């Protein structure tokens, strides 16, 4: 499916000179379904926030839906798959969001040129499924790139093995599981002061099913973002960080605080007919006891 990209830059490396790059950068995209010959509809709009929604249906196999949103310091992705056949063909799809911008760290201490910093991000959402007479599973993965630091997590939940963490280098305050509500803190990274530092956030939600009556949903529709009401970054004394109007003196100003999440937008859009009706009847939070 198409991706929405605003103020796009070709990123070869996420370190080094920023002189040839355009920031901020937003990407929101619904993926291509895992099964062929599906009939798909997509809806995309917005300079800010950027959002994308895709619904695909194949009557003899099943239906899938994916959405994503990207804004300043706040991204989200949602995916749902529904199979209604005993065919060997399963269903699957992903939604992905990316945000990139430059940050400026500065210090009130004369002569200080570098600082060790870490970022605090909220991750909130649900991995849910109902296997029916088949199999179902879903996953969420994300990454934070800050200067030369790259930190990646991936969580799974499926009808075979239950919930599992494949990788997570973050310190966690809160709960990771089928229902996740946690603050993830990156390891510390050294950054140069008074020079642009590239930040990149990425989130992907995926869902897949196979067999009759199986449905899976990954609902992280607007929930990977910097924490609000406290420090966005853990900084040494005398150091602060700014980025435009969304990060002011180490405080995150959430631009999506009053904006509906993509999963909610999907409920408002007419025209997704068969697939949309199927998916709406199986709300993700009620799938798996």
pLDDT band at 266 (very low <50, low <70, confident <90, very high): very low
Domain count, the chain: 1
Q: Is the pLDDT of residue 19 over 50?
A: no
Question: Between 4 and 164, whose confidence is greater?
Answer: 164
**24-28, 198-202, 209-213, 268-272: least confident range:** 268-272
Q: Is the pLDDT of residue 267 over 80?
A: no
Q: What is the mean pLDDT of residues 258-279?
A: 41
Contact predicate 182/172, CB 8 Å: yes
pLDDT digits (tens, 9 = 90+) for 75-100: 999 999 999 877 677 899 999 999 99
Q: What gap in Å lies between CA 82 and CA 39, rounded to an integer? A: 14
User: Tokens at residue 43, please?
Assistant: 């809806």
pLDDT digits (tens, 9 = 90+) for 233-246: 999 999 999 999 99
Q: Model's pTM, two decimal places?
A: 0.83
**45-54, 213-222, 254-263: least confident range:** 254-263
Question: Between 280 and 90, whose confidence is greater?
Answer: 90
pLDDT at 263: 43
* Boundaries of domain holding 102: 3-286
Contact predicate 140/163, CB 8 Å: no
User: Tokens at residue 82, please?
Assistant: 């529904």
Q: What gap in Å lies between CA 259 and CA 162, rounded to an integer? A: 32
Q: Is the pLDDT of residue 259 over 80?
A: no
β-strands 135-146, 196-210 pairing: antiparallel
pLDDT at 249: 97
pLDDT digits (tens, 9 = 90+) for 203-223: 999 999 998 889 999 999 878
Q: What gap in Å lies between CA 5 and CA 100, rounded to an integer? A: 11
pLDDT band at 129 (very low <50, low <70, confident <90, very high): very high
């Amino acid at each position: 499916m198409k991706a929405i990209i605003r103020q796009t830059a070709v990123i070869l490396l996420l370190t080094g000179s920023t002189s040839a790059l355009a920031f901020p950068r937003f990407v929101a995209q619904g993926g291509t379904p895992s099964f062929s010959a599906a009939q798909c509809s997509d809806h995309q709009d917005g300079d800010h926030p950027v959002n994308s929604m895709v619904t695909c249906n194949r009557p003899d196999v099943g239906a899938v839906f994916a959405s994503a949103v990207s804004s300043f310091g706040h991204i989200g992705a949602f995916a749902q798959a529904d199979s209604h056949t005993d065919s060997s063909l399963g269903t699957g799809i992903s939604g992905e969001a990316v945000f990139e911008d430059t940050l400026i760290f500065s210090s009130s201490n004369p002569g200080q040129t570098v600082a060790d910093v870490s970022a605090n991000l909220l991750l909130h959402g649900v991995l849910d499924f109902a296997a029916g007479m088949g199999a179902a599973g879903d996953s969420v993965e994300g990454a934070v790139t800050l200067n030369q630091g790259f930190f990646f997590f991936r969580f799974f939940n499926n009808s075979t093995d239950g919930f599992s963490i494949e990788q997570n280098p973050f310190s966690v305050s809160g709960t990771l599981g089928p229902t996740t509500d946690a603050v993830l803190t990156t390891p510390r990274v050294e950054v140069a002061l008074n020079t642009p530092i590239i930040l990149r956030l990425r989130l992907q939600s995926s869902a897949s099913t196979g067999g009759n009556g199986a449905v899976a949903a990954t609902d992280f529709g607007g929930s990977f973002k910097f924490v609000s009401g406290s420090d966005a970054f853990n900084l040494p004394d005398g150091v602060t960080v700014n980025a435009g109007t969304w990060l002011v003196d180490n405080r995150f100003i959430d631009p999506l605080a009053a904006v509906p999440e993509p999963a909610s937008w999907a409920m408002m859009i007419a025209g997704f007919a068969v697939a949309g009706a199927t998916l709406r009847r199986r709300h993700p939070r009620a799938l798996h006891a």
